[in-house]
Amino acid sequence: MHSFVYLASQSPRRSQLLDQLGVRHELLLPDAQEDAEALEVVLRNEAPKTYVQRVTGLKLAAAQARLARRQLPLAPVLCADTTVAMGKTIFGKPADAGDARRMLRALSNRPHRVITAIALGWGERRVAACSESWVTFADMSEDDIAAYVATGEPMGKAGAYAVQGRAAAHIAHLSGSYSGIMGLPLFETAQALRTLGFTL
């Protein structure tokens, strides 16, 4: 029986979502010398779902190596990655405010997918899952987009928005997993944890 998991994510939302499940966790964040961003590079012609699953697997391998290197107490390691996609186009984290405006313009009034993959590792065992949801923004004017980008919320977020933040004022419809859109699909995460012996 495990008493806690390591969460290898800098996202405060993922930590809050694990709290919601009542799962005790400790953060297992990259060292200064680790190039965490390099893991998120998209390969040529890579499909969004393939991309997000591959990146999550790489994050898990890096986190398990980190755990061993730091000689920390052993426990399952949880990783996740979220991407926003329209067709085969992947919308990652915006490089700057201009890039955020470009993304939001493209997403305005058109449905898009939010795909979050999770990977849970315990020794040699791996459990992986993927959640796919759909989000539709209302028609956003240039002023709407500029005002939202000015809040700073889009920075560091896939697709340049946070569903649980001010972007909610512009989201007309969503279907799928709300927690998955936030960054950690709770149903799939709970199933993965049960597979490794957690009681929820």
CB 34 within 8 A of CB 10: no
* Cα–Cα distance, 70 to 34 (Å, whole number): 13
* Cα–Cα distance, 189 to 198 (Å, whole number): 11
Map tokens 């979220």 to a residue.
Answer: 82
Q: Where in the sequence numbering do the catalytic residues fall?
A: 81
CB 101 within 8 A of CB 107: no
CB 39 within 8 A of CB 9: no
Q: Nearest CA to 9 among 42, 36, 33? A: 36
CA distances from 21 to 24, 41, 191, 194 (A): 9, 31, 11, 12
Q: Nearest CA to 128 among 191, 67, 198, 181? A: 191
Q: Nearest CA to 187 among 130, 143, 136? A: 130
Fill in the DSSP letter of residue 171: E
